[in-house]
Amino acid sequence: MALTKREFLLALPVAALMAQAFPRQVAAAGSVGQVSRLAGTVTIVRNGMDTAAAIGAEVLVDDQIRSGADSRAEITFSDGSILTVGPESDISVSYFAPEEAESNAVLDLFSGIARLTVNKATGWGRFEVRTATAVASVRGTDYLVEATAGKSAVFVAEGRVAVSSRAGAGTVILREGQGVDIPAEKAPLVVKRWGAKRRDEALARVTFS
């Protein structure tokens, strides 16, 4: 079952929330990019109001993008980084500031699956995707994050990604072709090379045909 944004934040440990506090949040207000591709039914939730997404629609800080079954959305950010939202997914652009001295971005994936192709030329100090159980942090790479009830998964298509457990089970570094499952409980993070079936099925959900 998908979490609401409030339930998602309440599920996080207080220490984790404090550690992930958004720096200079006022400077990151406003437009962060636009919808560049669509398939199926996709909604942008802004200030509690649902609006059907359209090609060229602006995406703002704190917007939530929600997709229906067999639906996808591609968001091209102002720095050229790309977010692909898979079917039955809910993700929020919580912070995005590529022009700061140390560029920062934070996306919160409440449920479903999303793929990030991060523009390394931006020189990101921090680009994170957070779920209820994990934080995936990169500077420039291509990877996907999936959030389901009680656990998350991260897979790297290109580059490297640091994945941290919110339960305090530590941090692992994923390289190309590797993935990790992150449970809600404190358990060792085991890095594995994903088999072709799991890899291809996951990537298909965040790829436009």
The domain segmentation of the chain, as residue ranges, is: 5-24+79-205
Closest CA to 176 of 132, 142, 137: 142
Q: What is the pLDDT of residue 28?
A: 45
Given this model, what pLDDT does residue 125 score?
Answer: 84
Q: What is the pLDDT of residue 102?
A: 75
DSSP β-ladder status, 103-117 and 90-97:
antiparallel
Residue 158: partners with Cβ closer than 8 Å, 6 or more residues away: 141, 142, 143, 176
Alpha-carbon distance of 200 to 131, in angstroms, equals: 22
Residue 145 has a pLDDT of 98
Write down the pLDDT at residue 68: 97
Q: What pLDDT shows up at residue 7?
A: 46
Q: Judge contact between 63 and 43, C-beta under 8 A.
A: no
What span, in angstroms and rounded, lies between the C-alpha atoms of 85 and 31? 18
| Confidence (pLDDT) at 160 | 94
The pLDDT score that the predictor gives to residue 124 is 85
pLDDT at 27: 36
Residues whose CB falls within 8 Å of the CB of residue 171, separated by 6 or more in sequence, listed in order: 162, 163, 164, 165, 189
* pLDDT score recorded for residue 29: 56
User: pLDDT in tens for each of the 209 residues of the chain?
Assistant: 444 554 444 444 433 443 344 443 433 457 999 999 999 999 999 999 999 999 999 999 999 999 999 999 999 999 999 999 999 999 999 999 988 677 899 999 999 999 999 998 888 888 999 999 999 999 889 999 999 989 999 999 999 999 999 999 999 999 999 999 999 999 999 999 999 999 999 999 999 98
| 5-24+79-205 CATH fold | Jelly Rolls (2.60.120)
**Is-contact 99 124, C-beta < 8 A?**
no
